[in-house]
Structure 1
Amino acid sequence: MRQRTLAMLGIACPMFAAAFVAAAPYAAATDYQPAPQVSCNDYWCRNDSDDTYRIDATVQCGPAFPFIPYYTNIFAYLPPHRTTLIGSNCPKGSVPEVVTYHAVIDNRPIPPWPFAGTGSSI
């Protein structure tokens, strides 16, 4: 009986570990290019152009309650040749899973902080 239990653990543990790794958040390692010379990865966006962009992001947060995903919209201004943290704004108990980025050229002066969005440039 003991050998059977050890054998089952030897099979079940690697299968569980593989399933756990496969269920890891998708957005963490994905690189997006929402506009020419603009790239986003891990909630950071980089602008290598001479224009200011407004980044609009939709974040799908992992369920805080079983099977109920939560979506949040975030925007941030991305000055020329700068990197900006977009953030996730997921509620407590949930994790960001998928982020969709959209970039629009917005060369108007950037509103003073806070501008009703999230993000900070470095």
Structure 2
Amino acid sequence: MGQRRIVAGFGLAALAAGAVTVAAPQAFAQELAPGVSCEEFGFECSNDTDDTYRVKSTVGCGGSGVATTWHDVTTYVPPRARVTVSTTCSPRHESGSWEHQPPKLGPDGKYESQPPVWEPGDVVPTRPTGVIHQSAVVDNNPPAPAPSGSFG
């Protein structure tokens, strides 16, 4: 009787493991042009053609307790290459507030009110939280890369 329970337990565990495998998310590619695709829920784009493509995407930036903001980005995908969509997110500056100060005891023994003091808001880091790829068009004349800051 004890062996049957163990076998049944292994059977249920195997069945559960199979269900997890089936339910695991897969990377789906969104084809934006023939031979050019981007991960549907990711930041990678690939180009299987002989042309350079300009990919337009919208990237969401947010974080813990920070609302997501969306901004447009352009990524150039060279021929026969795979690149990562630019995902630089700027920190969010929370709004500050005027803080009232307690009265101060003056030299004459009377309390004097103090002016409020401006307290700046916190700077909250953000990170990429999502991407929506919109289009890809042939652009065999991409802009030159920005200087690296090093002198040759």
- The TM tier, using the shorter chain, reads 0.5 to 0.7
Cα deviation 1:77-108 (Å, max 9, x = unaligned): 1111111221212234223222111211112x
Of 126, 140, 152, the residue aligned with 1:94 is 126
2:71 equivalent in structure 1: 72
User: Structure 1 regions of 5+ residues with no counterpart?
Assistant: 1-28, 116-122
- Aligned Cα RMSD in Å? 2.7
Higher helix share: 1
Cα deviation 1:21-61 (Å, max 9, x = unaligned): xxxxxxxx553222221121231211001221101110112
Provide the C-alpha distance between the structure 2 equivalents of 1:95 and 1:111, rounded to a whole number of angstroms.
26
Instruction: Give, as a single letter, the amino acid of the residue that structure 1 aligns with 2:33.
Output: A
Matches within 5 A, 1:57-68: 57-63=57-63, 65-66=65-66, 68=67
Matches within 5 A, 1:1-122: 29-41=27-39, 42-63=42-63, 65-66=65-66, 68-92=67-91, 93-101=125-133, 102-107=135-140, 109-114=141-146
TM-score (ref. length: structure 2): 0.48
User: Structure 2 regions of 5+ residues with no counterpart?
Assistant: 1-26, 92-124, 148-152
| 1:111 to partner: Cα distance | 2.0
Aligned length: 87
Q: Percent identity?
A: 34
